[in-house]
Amino acid sequence: MARAELTVYGGVEYFDWHESTTPSVQETGPLGLGGLIWLQDRDRGLLFGYRGEIYAGSVNYDGANLFTGAPLQSNTQYLGMSNEAQLRYRIPAGRTEHVDVMLSLGADIWNRQLSSDQKETWLVGYTRLGLELAPQAATAGWIASIGLKYPFYVHENAHLTDIGFDQNPTLSPGGNVSGYASFGYRFGGHWSVVGFYDSYRFLQSSTVQVTSGGAVFDVYQPKSSMDVVGVTVLYSF
């Protein structure tokens, strides 16, 4: 019968969002994060896991005014939450280590507040496939992971009626493959420190037409990328 381990964690990440527009849009800055991991623990074979996380913070916005195209610098507020179910196959690797082949399915939702009126709400369904090295529970050792991530469902609510348009159609950027990785160390029974990299790649959405004051406008989400690097401190029960 499989045992289970519960881990709580907190940390900080450096966030970098880039949109391929002219002029370009880039957002950079720190976000705080916290979450929990529940993972079955057995020596080998099939097992299940769950990871949930919340994140928030204010980052620098370097871009352009939506209507005039004039250069603009301000701050963007982020608040988000992700939930991920994991299916793993564990293979012993050495005296106290194991390697998990992991396939996961997750949902990531965040609010991107660009100004008092302008905001976006994103819902992303994604899958990850990768390898993870870790020591046995309550054992010191190295932690590492590497893999690929793919957003198979992207729903963007740009709240266009809040900024003066007559309609608010959904924007649906396509997804593209990106990578993730982590590296850290577990200090015996409970504490671990892990550095990580994560990312998203989004293709340009289809153009939709909206009206305002009798005029017709083309609206789309440009090709976008997100990269984060950070560090977490974890405590396992």
- Which tens digits make up the pLDDT trace of 138-187? 789 999 999 999 999 999 999 999 999 999 999 999 999 999 999 999 99
pLDDT above 90: residue 117: no
Q: Which pTM was predicted?
A: 0.93
| Tokens standing for residue 227 | 């990269």
The pLDDT value given to residue 1? 52
The pLDDT value given to residue 2? 63
Question: What is the tens place of the pLDDT at every residue in 70-106?
Answer: 788 999 999 999 999 999 999 999 888 999 999 999 9
Question: Rounded distance, CA 58 to CA 77, Å?
Answer: 5
Residue 202: Cβ within 10 Å count: 23
Which has more confidence, 64 or 178?
178
Close Cβ partners of 96 (under 8 Å, ≥ 6 residues apart): 135, 136, 139, 141
Question: What is the tens place of the pLDDT at every residue in 91-100?
Answer: 999 888 999 9
- Domain residue ranges in the chain: 3-236
Please report the sign of the dihedral spanned by the C-alpha atoms of residue 37, residue 41, residue 45, residue 48. Answer: negative
CA distances from 116 to 4, 45, 159, 221 (A): 44, 51, 12, 20
pLDDT above 70: residue 193: yes
CB distance 109 to 83 below 8 Å: no
Please name the residue that has the structure tokens 């609510």: 157
Q: What percentage of the chain reaches a pLDDT higher than 90? A: 86
> What is the pLDDT of the chain when averaged over all its residues?
95
The pLDDT value given to residue 64? 77
CATH superfamily placement of domain 3-236: OPCA outer membrane adhesin/invasin (2.40.128.100)
The pLDDT value given to residue 62? 94
Close Cβ partners of 234 (under 8 Å, ≥ 6 residues apart): 7, 8, 9, 37, 191, 192, 193, 194
Angle at 150 between CA 223 and CA 89, to 5 degrees: 165
